[in-house]
Amino acid sequence: MNAQRRFVTRLACLAILVPMTAESQQPTACSASPYRQFDFWLGDWEVTNVEGTVVGTNTIRKILNGCVLHEQWRAADGGSGQSHNIYNLQTGKWHQSWVDDNGQLLLLDGGLDDQGRMVLRGETVSEEGATVIDEIAWERVEGGRVRQVWRKSTDGGTSWQVVFNGLYTKAR
């Protein structure tokens, strides 16, 4: 057997012993660290308000090859909503598209602030035609929990009204 044929035979044996393709060794498209910044929100959650009353449950899962965080909100009063969250490599920002069963649409963009909070902002228009700034911030708090605070401003960010202040605790 000539040297070239022995080499090819050995390569074939190695391919059988180590069945890894080049594709399986490649990281997924969304495995870089910026895509992991919002992973602290992943899980099944029970959500309470500042008085400690359960206001709903939320499930956050990675979908689409780990590129998207999909949120499924179920309010205690029966309402529901969903969001898709993705890190946009072109803008260097996180984007959320939120929709709910009341026909509300929020398009928010942002990222981690200097305190490690995920802060996303967007603008909507009120029924009166005024510009409304929505800001939602998520932060890790002790005990593996997450605090979410949603604020609105109707005066360009001079003053804010808290719309939602929820504490996420892992569901059992």
Coil vs helix vs strand at 135:
strand
The structure's pTM equals 0.82
pLDDT tens per residue, range 32-75: 999 999 999 999 999 999 999 999 999 999 999 999 999 999 99
Bridge partners for 100 per DSSP: 81
Cβ proximity of 87 and 78 under 8 Å: no
pLDDT tens per residue, range 129-147: 999 999 999 999 999 999 9
pLDDT tier, 3 (very low <50, low <70, confident <90, very high otherwise):
low
Q: Annotate 24-39 with three-state secondary structure.
A: HHCCCCCCCHHHHCCH
Coil vs helix vs strand at 144:
helix
CATH number of 3-170, picked from 1.20.140.10, 3.30.2130.30, 2.40.128.20, 3.30.379.10: 2.40.128.20
pLDDT tier, 26 (very low <50, low <70, confident <90, very high otherwise):
low
Pairing of β 131-141 and β 105-112: unpaired
